[in-house]
Amino acid sequence: MEKLIISAAICGAEVTKEQNPAVPYTVEEIVREAKSAYDAGASIIHLHVRWDDGTPTQDKRRFQECVDAIRAVCPDVIIQPSTGGAVGMTDLERLQSTDIEPRPEFATLDCGTCNFGGDEIFINTDNTVMNFAKIMQERGIKPELEVFDKGMIDIALKADKKGLLNHPLHFDFVLGVQMTATLRDLVFMVGSIPKGSTWTATGIGKSAWHIAAATISMGGHVRVGFEDNLYIEKGVLAKSNGEMVAKAAELAKLLGREIATPDEARKILGMVK
Ligand code: KMH
Ligand code: ZN
């Protein structure tokens, strides 16, 4: 089987220090978490940033500062800024993370609107998705297609039909937000993407580790980290993102898959020839 790419979603926009004191807010904390994930085997850092008080922001200068600081200690890691930001942000606000220098090589592209719990709605109209895809294509940024249910795969394929996506496509199945996170769901999602695409999956909350194990067995790639799950095992808070990446790497070892370096990940994802 192909080597395993581990993405670390180190921060997110929704989780707080009240839930787990190791959730990073400041630039120093974000760097600490990125480095711990990288040292444990993550080749991709999925990045949200915060102000020092924890408020999520897509501010271009804050992104630039965090990306530069991560790059200084993890020189070859793939940094994947979020263009999802936090619920309620405008499209222009969200796109700032793609406007840094040098341009990011990878960024998320959320492929539809979804319920985010309670009264929260994460809005991504068809026009938003097409516009984000067009801007990323113009800026030379590979999109990771974030899909929270099957309909979002179909919206991504609509963008592809319009010529707004370069191949190979790469999908991230986020299970346990809008759709449930069972193995049946995962198999259905994997079977719904075009041949030749690559994919990552993440299970939110308590589904994190069984989705990781299934994904490793099925030949997909894995995302772990505080954005998606705060626990290393039932009832035990994770001490760092690195601890979670190390657990994913250990699962991979048990299941016979080697871990990809960042450069190997770039090849697997078709980012370099
Ligand atoms: N925080 C969510 C509203 C992404 O990074 O692109 C959006 C999100 C997806 O996390
Ligand atoms: Zn995110």
Q: Is the CB of 146 under 6 A from ligand 1?
A: yes
Closest approach atom of ligand 1 to CA 227: 10
Q: Is the pLDDT of residue 247 over 80?
A: yes
CA of 161 to the centre of ligand 2 (A): 25
CB of residue 13 inside a 6 A radius of ligand 1: yes
Under 8 Å between Cβ of 156 and 165: yes
For the cut 80, the answer to whether the pLDDT of residue 273 exceeds it is no
Q: Give the mutation target among 122, 171, 202 for probing the ligand 1 site: most ligand atoms within 8 A of CB.
A: 122
Average pLDDT over residues 25-48: 98
Phi, psi dihedral angles at 229 (to 5 degrees) = -165, 135
41 close to 224: Cβ distance less than 8 angstroms: no
Whole-number average pLDDT of the chain: 98
Output the pLDDT for position 118: 95
Three-state SS for 115? Answer: strand
Dihedral-angle region of residue 88 (phi above 0 means left; psi in -120 to 50 means alpha; beta otherwise): left
Q: Select from 108, 114, 115, 149 the residue to mutate for testing ligand 1; criterion: most ligand atoms less than 8 Å from CB.
A: 108
The CA-CA-CA angle for residues 10, 6, 190, to 5°, reads 110
Among all ligands shown, which has an atom nearest to the Cα of 11?
A: 2
CA of 165 to the centre of ligand 1 (A): 20
DSSP H helical segments within 75-199, as ranges?
91-95, 126-139, 150-161, 183-190
What's the confidence (pLDDT) of residue 211? Answer: 98
Average pLDDT over residues 180-201: 98
Asked if residue 178 has pLDDT above 80, the reply is yes
pLDDT tens per residue, range 9-21: 999 999 999 999 9
Ligand 2: distance of its center to the CA of 263 in Å? 22
pLDDT tens string 103-144: 999 999 999 999 999 999 999 999 999 999 999 999 999 999
Nearest residue to 5 via CA among 187, 272, 215? 215
Averaged pLDDT, 58-75: 98
Between CA 133 and CA 101, with CA 260 as vertex, the angle to 5 degrees is 40
Q: What percent of the chain has pLDDT over 70?
A: 100
At 111 the pLDDT is 98
User: What is the arithmetic mean of pLDDT over 230-246?
Assistant: 98
Mean pLDDT, rounded, for 186-195: 98
- In this prediction the pTM is 0.98
